[in-house]
Amino acid sequence: MSFYTELLELLELAAAGLGRLTVSAVDLPAAGRAAGRDADFGSVILSDGSVGLFYAWLDGVEDNPTTGAGVVGRTALDSVHAMIEGATGARAFALGIANAMGQAVFRAAGWRPPAGRDTLSELGLAQGDRIGMVGYFPSLVPRLQALQLPLLVVEKRRELARESGSFAVTTDLARLSGCNKVICTGSVLLNDTVDEVLEHCRQADRVIMVGPSVACLPDPLFQRGCDVVGSTEVIEPALLREHLRCGRRWGGAVRKYRIDAAAYPGTPALVQRIQQAADARLR
């Protein structure tokens, strides 16, 4: 069963507990992105106020999301079903809605993930580690190179491939099997490589996935070997909308969090809490 299929099953379970959620609004980033950035984020707001972030304006993608008109007013679950296995732009929207539904489950169940930590701290690095990086983290590469640990970066663009001492950029996912610590961006959800990537990481001591676009229900990622998922909770939706429209940094509009596989209650347990609370209100 694919990641997307398992995620859809969880979203169906969540929808049974949350009731009918619709897409209320979609916000896209301001035009004129910062130089050198391959993507900016947009947001999806659901009828209960939950917000999900997604990649927008992807370079080289012909079906870039340019408007949310097609999904506004539709039920969240139906929208995900219709788009999750479609073209890249449609999938981006679907993942944004799935992220918002994940946040809705956390809120309705009264469960809040703990605050996020520094990414390298999450990896628990030590001498002898061999680091794998799926997707390029510009801020982390110099820090890892300063530690003089072998670093393998997996990228889809062949023109970036190169080797220099203990540093390599490759398109060959199979080389991840030689890494014992792996960090992934949320791009693996968008480009439909998540199942293959995590399969090549099965032997790793620690695998983490981070980014604003991995705020979905994390169960399928944990089942595929992720140890920690780090993402972003929108705590001031109105402020975020203003920042997106003006092209500003998100600042106090968001909160970074982490979910440890060993500490996560599981989506079925959270949905059960939601249903028990609903039953109690009816008594």
What does R_g of the chain's alpha carbons equal in angstroms?
Answer: 19
In tens, the pLDDT along 146-188 reads 899 999 999 888 887 788 888 999 999 999 999 999 999 998 9
In tens, the pLDDT along 17-55 reads 999 999 999 888 766 555 334 347 889 999 999 999 998
**Is it the case that residue 259 has pLDDT exceeding 70?**
yes
Phi, psi of 105 (to 5 degrees): -65, -45
DSSP 211: S
Closest by alpha carbon to 55, among 37, 35, 32?
37
- What is the phi-psi region of residue 7: left when phi exceeds 0, alpha when psi lies from -120 to 50, beta otherwise? alpha
What one-character-per-residue DSSP string does 102-131 give?
Answer: HHHHHHHHT--PPBP--HHHHHT--TT--E
**Is it the case that residue 239 has pLDDT exceeding 80?**
yes
Predicted structure pTM score:
0.91
Torsion of CA 144, 183, 92, 42, to 10 degrees: -50
CA–CA gap between residue 123 and residue 129 (Å, rounded): 10
